[in-house]
Structure 1
């Protein structure tokens, strides 16, 4: 039951992420509102990378980030980011589908070697916070960055202000 709810939300929100990434023009990729903040390309790449972490949360109780190998895409073009997104979303969906709901309340930890970065916490808390909410937070930053560059953003939960004025 919990797995089906998480999968349903995942599928709905992956489509929202896809719409947002598809709205990013290559001309906006280097924009950053302040020198110390991530650029649009870096944020989009990070959002894409979060989907690669699903197996490390859904599939195991200890996610050793030190042994996690991830090849980032060339983020000089949005098409490359979207291609990596599609690859990662497919793997994430499989990780949810293959997960055992009876493990969702197991203690979960993310570490590198002996250094603990996240947790311990119930796995379901890591799923909601470390994966889902973390992703939504960075999508919100992307929306703000795109608006600051004068680009249109898609409606993710209904029409945007601009769409409602038509």
Structure 2
């Protein structure tokens, strides 16, 4: 039952993420709001990468970020970021569909080089916070990036100011 709820939200929100990533023009990829921020390409790539964390979150009790490796590929074109997203979201969907609901309350933690980054908490809390909410946070940032570069924003939960009513 929990799995079906997670899967329903996952599918709905993956479509929203897809719409947002497809709205990025190549001309905006190098823009960033300040020296402290990522470029649009880096932020979009990170959004695509979050889907790569499903295997480690659902199927391991410890996610070792020190050993984690990820090939973001060529992020100089928006279509490459979308392609990486499509690969990652397909794998994440399979992990979620094959997950064992009885393990959702097992403890999970994140470490890096032996240091605890996320203390032990139930996997379901990590799934909602680290995978889902974390993604939504970065999508909100990406919307601001798109607006700041004069680009249109697709409606995710209804129409936007860009939609003709």
Question: For this structure pair, what is the TM-score category when the shorter chain's length is used for normalisation?
Answer: over 0.9
Kindly state the Cα deviation for residue 106 of structure 1 after the two structures are TM-superposed: 0.8
- Partner Cα separation in structure 2 for residue 114 and residue 69 of structure 1: 16
Mapping 1:3-22, distance limit 5 Å: 3-22=3-22
SS in 1 for 2:44: helix
- Partner Cα separation in structure 2 for residue 119 and residue 6 of structure 1: 23
Mapping 1:43-122, distance limit 5 Å: 43-122=43-122
Q: Is the 8 A contact 2:154 2:162 kept in 1?
A: no
Task: In structure 1, list runs of 5 or more residues that go unmatched.
Answer: none
SS in 2 for 1:121: strand
Give the corresponding residue for 1:35.
Answer: 35
Give me the CA root mean square deviation: 1.0
- Partner Cα separation in structure 2 for residue 94 and residue 86 of structure 1: 12
The reply on whether 1:2 has 2:2 as its aligned counterpart is yes
Mapping 1:105-144, distance limit 5 Å: 105-144=105-144
- Partner Cα separation in structure 1 for residue 140 and residue 46 of structure 2: 13
Task: In structure 2, list runs of 5 or more residues that go unmatched.
Answer: none
Moved more, 147-156 or 106-115: 106-115
Give the corresponding residue for 1:154.
Answer: 154
Q: Is the 8 A contact 2:65 2:112 kept in 1?
A: yes
- Partner Cα separation in structure 1 for residue 136 and residue 118 of structure 2: 18
Kindly state the Cα deviation for residue 64 of structure 1 after the two structures are TM-superposed: 1.7
Kindly state the Cα deviation for residue 67 of structure 1 after the two structures are TM-superposed: 2.3
Kindly state the Cα deviation for residue 69 of structure 1 after the two structures are TM-superposed: 2.1
Moved more, 23-32 or 34-43: 34-43
- Partner Cα separation in structure 2 for residue 65 and residue 95 of structure 1: 19
SS in 1 for 2:120: strand
Question: What number of residue pairs does the alignment pair up?
Answer: 165
- Partner Cα separation in structure 1 for residue 127 and residue 54 of structure 2: 8
